[in-house]
Copies of this chain bind each other. A is one copy, B any other.
Amino acid sequence: MSNAIILMNNQLKPQQVEMLTQLAEGYRFVTKADLAEGDFEYVEIMYGWDKSYTEAQRQSFKRLKWIQATSAGVDYLPMDIIQNPQIMISNMSGIHATPIAESVFGYLLATGRQLFTSQLQQRESNWNRPEHGGYFSLKDKVLLVYGTGNIGQEIARIGHNFSMEVIGINTNGRAIEGFDACYATAEADLIVGKADFIVSTLPATANTRHYFAENWFKMLKATALFINVGRGQTVDETALYEALKAKQIGGAYLDVFHEEPLPESSTLWELESLLISPHISGQIEHFQEETFPIFKENLVSYLNEGKLARNIVAKDKGY
């Protein structure tokens, strides 16, 4: 029996571990809690990453060849891991499309139907019923989606079902099925002012950092709603705070932030036209059932052919 270890930084169900054990003969399955100091150098495969590994510990992962991340974005991986050519990285891109799209439409619909206001009024036993004012329907609205991958496509599909016009933004403006039109990022300024709702699904890369900044917010409609379910690094949070405070835009929903958890001292918490959720838009009802098939398929491929079958992260792009 070899000493090679499959390290499970994320939990799997006992039956799932049992199934993998039969597939990966000769490997030891070890959880982070059970990992002894002498084990580090034998870790060959990781299921999930753990942010608490120190640089010294990371350097001890001498035989590490593959990390199957349990998230879609992998920007939290340290540079020394990403840039190590010996380590392949795969992600869970795709499985978060449904919950993230449901989060986006939960926000838009509940806002348009004043359900968030209703919840707050309920806590004061307050039956206040504004007549014919302040409501909006999604029908005939213009939805602009930054990022036309799995998540953007699912948002577009649902948007059409609510009779919206859906426009996509991607790097080169290539047409993507399910969008009424697509523009390149460089042309986005032409269209941003027409949008009623803007959703960003952008990853954190050098190119997207602080893309949503003061000048960008200035181009929006005064009633526009901005939603970020991508990565916090793409938004200049001070600029967004100022735009909301000055009522330059109608409102915003942020699920992701520069610093997570969002510090208690952040001024963002207090904005009434902003909804904050704690990076949960992609959380999945049956997480282990949805992620397991991807890990299993890649494990079989890795063991048989030494390469991954799917969801491979392009290290140069970072997603």
User: Interface residues, chain A, CB within 8 Å of chain B?
Assistant: 98-99, 102-103, 105-107, 109-116, 118-122, 125, 127-132, 135-139, 157-158, 161-162, 260-262, 264, 266, 269, 275-281, 283-285, 287-288
**Looking across the interface, which residue of chain B has its beta carbon closest to that of A131?**
B283
Tell me if B118 and A112 are in contact (CB < 8 A).
no
Q: Is the CB of A110 within 8 A of B99?
A: no
Query: Do residues B122 and A285 form an inter-chain contact, with CB atoms below 8 A?
Result: no
Chain B contacts for A118, CB-based, 8 A: 275-278, 280
**For residue A117, which residue of chain B has the nearest CB?**
B277
Asked if B113 and A261 sit within 8 Å, CB to CB, the answer is: no
A-B contact pairs, 12 of them (CB 8 A): A102-B109, A106-B109, A109-B109, A110-B116, A116-B116, A118-B276, A129-B261, A129-B280, A132-B283, A132-B284, A136-B285, A137-B285
Contact check, A102 vs B113: say whether CB atoms are below 8 A apart. yes
Residue on B nearest A262 in the bound complex, by CB: B127
Given known contacts A98-B139, A161-B158, is B109 in contact with A279 (CB within 8 Å)?
Answer: no
Residues of B within 8 A of A131 (CB): 283
How many angstroms from the CA of A228 to the CA of B305 in the assembled complex?
56
CA distance A266 to B122 in the complex (A): 11
Q: A107-B110, A127-B262 are in contact. List 5 more A-B contacts (CB 8 A).
A: A98-B137, A110-B110, A118-B278, A129-B261, A135-B280
User: Is B115 in contact with A276, judged by CB distance below 8 angstroms?
Assistant: no
In the assembled complex, how far is the CB of residue A10 from the closest CB belonging to chain B, in whole angstroms?
10
Is A99 touching B135 in the complex (CB atoms < 8 A)? yes
Least distance between A224 CB and chain B CB atoms (Å): 16
Q: Which residues of B contact A161 (CB under 8 A)?
A: 157-158, 161
Residues of B within 8 A of A288 (CB): 132
What is the CB-to-nearest-CB distance from A138 to chain B, in angstroms, rounded to a whole number? 7
Contact between B135 and A284, CB atoms less than 8 A apart: yes
Expressed in whole angstroms, the minimum distance between the Cβ of A254 and any Cβ of chain B is 10
**Shortest distance from the beta carbon of A176 to any chain B beta carbon, whole Å:** 19
Closest CB in chain B relative to A232 CB, distance in Å: 13
Given contacts A128-B278, A129-B279, A135-B285, contact A109 B115 (CB under 8 A): no
- The answer on a CB contact under 8 Å between B106 and A102 is no
Report A276 CB to chain B, min CB distance, Å. Answer: 5
Min CB distance, A52 to chain B, in Å? 15
Indicate whether A113 sits within 8 Å of B275 (C-beta atoms), given known contacts A122-B269, A127-B262. no
**List of B residues within 8 angstroms of A109 by Cβ:** 102-103, 105-106, 109-110
Residues in B whose Cβ lies below 8 Å from that of A110: 106-107, 109-110, 115-116
Give the distance in Å from the alpha carbon of A284 to the alpha carbon of B139 in the complex: 11
Chain B residues positioned under 8 Å from A129 (CB to CB): 261, 278-280
CB-contact partner of A122 in B138, B157, B275, under 8 A: B275
User: How many angstroms between the C-alpha atoms of A261 and B129 in the bound complex?
Assistant: 9
Give chain B nearest CB distance to A182 CB in angstroms: 22
Contact yes or no, B121 A113, CB < 8 A: no
